Amino acid sequence: MRILGIDPGSRITGYGIITKEGNRLLHVDNGAIFTDSSRDFPVRLQKIYGGLTEIIERYRPDAVAVENIFFSTNVQSALKLGQARGAAIVAGVNAGLPVFEYTALQVKQAVVGHGRAAKEQVQKMLKVLLNLPEIAQEDASDALAVAVCHAHSAAMNALRGKHK
């Protein structure tokens, strides 16, 4: 199973692609889509959607996993982040893929073993789990973590018939 993990953001959207073969997790690619904060917001959303659509066409994942962001210190930031998440979700749905959402707590639990792990712990564990030559860029690393979370959760989700 090939999984596209997405860490949505209005300025930087990270992506990570892994393949699960039996109990093995294999790194395929990772990176980030950068938007120009001086551009109109709808144009930035279009860039996120278009970039993810190209990645989906190139790598043909079987599923998309998106981090479900939960924070609201700034209402405007939360709204923009929600819209970036929407662009990511629509890219997956328009490609006919099942889309799964995971909280940061679930992602950390799946990668490190406990939900209160520091970002650095998650990045180091990903380096080991996926045999990466170096720690991935922060947003790409977060996206890889979401993909790993889905790889560990996919069997349970299938039993429940759970996807959005």
Residues facing residue 5 across a β-bridge: 16, 65
Query: Which amino acid appears at position 16 of this protein?
Result: G
Q: Is 7 a catalytic residue?
A: yes
Q: Angle at Cα 29 formed by Cα 33 and Cα 2, nearest 5°?
A: 110
Q: Is 139 a catalytic residue?
A: yes
The pLDDT of residue 38 is 92
pLDDT digits (tens, 9 = 90+) for 99-129: 999 999 999 999 998 888 888 999 999 999 9
pLDDT digits (tens, 9 = 90+) for 43-60: 999 999 999 999 999 999
pLDDT digits (tens, 9 = 90+) for 78-106: 889 999 999 999 999 999 999 999 999 99
- Boundaries of every domain in the chain: 2-160
For the domain 2-160, what is the CATH superfamily, name and number? Ribonuclease H-like superfamily/Ribonuclease H (3.30.420.10)
Lowest model confidence (mean pLDDT) among 16-20, 106-110, 125-129, 150-154: 150-154
19 versus 72: which is more confidently predicted? Answer: 19
Instruction: Look over the chain and give the mean of its residue pLDDT values, rounded to a whole number.
Output: 91
Q: Which one is catalytic: 67, 101, 120, 134?
A: 67
Q: Is 134 a catalytic residue?
A: no
Q: What whole-number distance in Å separates Cα of residue 95 and Cα of residue 85? A: 16
Q: Which one is catalytic: 29, 54, 101, 139?
A: 139
Residue pair 32/161 in contact (Cβ under 8 Å)? The answer is: no
pTM: 0.92
Q: Which one is catalytic: 7, 21, 40, 138?
A: 7
With a cut of 70, say whether residue 71 has pLDDT above it: no
With a cut of 70, say whether residue 159 has pLDDT above it: no
Q: Percent of the chain having pLDDT more than 70?
A: 92
Residues facing residue 112 across a β-bridge: none
Residue pair 68/100 in contact (Cβ under 8 Å)? The answer is: no
